[in-house]
Amino acid sequence: MANKRRIKIIGTGFYVPDQILTNADLEKMVDTTDEWIVSRSGIRERRIASAEQATSDLCLEAARRALKNSHLSVKDIDLILVSNNTPDTLFPATACWVQQGLQADHVPAFDVVAGCTGFLYGMIVAESLILSGTARRVLLIGGETLSKITNWKDRNTCVLFGDGAGAAILEESKDDSGMLSFYWKADGSLANLLLMPAGGTRNPASLQTVAENLHYLHMKGNEVFKHAVKRMGEAAEEALKRAGLTKDDIDIFIPHQANIRIIDAVGERLKIPKEKVFVNIDRYGNVSVACIPIAIHELRQQKKIKPGTIIVLDAFGAGFTWASVVYRW
């Protein structure tokens, strides 16, 4: 493994909006309780974007912080990738709005849309582009304003989601650190279990689609839960196998922060001690593609990552998509 070329993270940053929506606030909005929300999801509060903030605004701030963290300027970036499921506009890509905000003239920019798995898909795409010589340094951002597509009258979904963005800057590693392996898959036959039904070409916006609440996120939670646990477990196991490692080698496990029950179930399936499993869902809720980059930055801030730390990143999302990355710091 020492001779294998790989990519590494050289800087991170994240941004969440100032507004905090607590479970107590939700008790005033829908028929729910703090106890019910915590027991079923593990969430106590989440951040909500202002009416003026779009996904690109959150991504832009996360990107600026990642550049500062890595002591780089916009001129040092060769490509901008933005993973999201809540774009500013269907076109142009949210990455282009971020490019405009950064004033990164003529740098290629495009979106990676793969449900909550999007940040890991983005890492895998970035690896190919960097190791092929197409791009030397990639700015990868995962950002969402899920509050904009949440039905705040649906007690089953409105308690789950939050807004935020996380960013990482990637380049080729010069040592043994970096992305050791990955595993990624998808199953479009299950797409109807988690989707926003209208707004695309299948169901273009109309008075009827608005009246029927089809521009909000729709999810069959129990079905999603079962598939998520199975596929996240499978992805982590296969990625470890490809890296030549075992579960015992894991120092930190960062699962997608969808639901504490999913996190616990995947941890139990993989037999990972709870103290090795990173959890911040209580503070941010499910921030989709932003979960993993936010987690990485927080762990760095808390100085819980040191050279040689083995981290497993694991995610599952709409599509369905799922992926896992094994990373040595």
Q: Which residues, other chains included, contact 235 with Cβ-Cβ below 8 Å and sequence gap of 6+?
A: 183, 184, 185, 314, 316, 322, 323, 324
With beta carbons less than 8 A apart as the criterion, state whether 41 and 260 touch: yes
What is the residue-wise DSSP string for 150-164? Answer: --TT-TTTTTTB-EE
Neighbouring C-beta atoms of residue 45, cutoff 10 Å: 18
In angstroms, the Cα distances linking 261 to 36, 68, 225, 320 are 13, 36, 9, 19
Task: Look at residues 250, 305, 254, 261 and name the one whose alpha carbon lies nearest to residue 280.
Answer: 254
Looking up tokens 């036959």, which residue turns up?
Answer: 189
Round to whole Å and give the CA distance between 138 and 104: 12
What are the catalytic residues?
Answer: 116, 256, 286
Separation between Cα atoms, residue 50 and residue 34, nearest integer Å: 23
Instruction: Report helix angle 291-301 to 118-131, nearest 10.
Output: 80
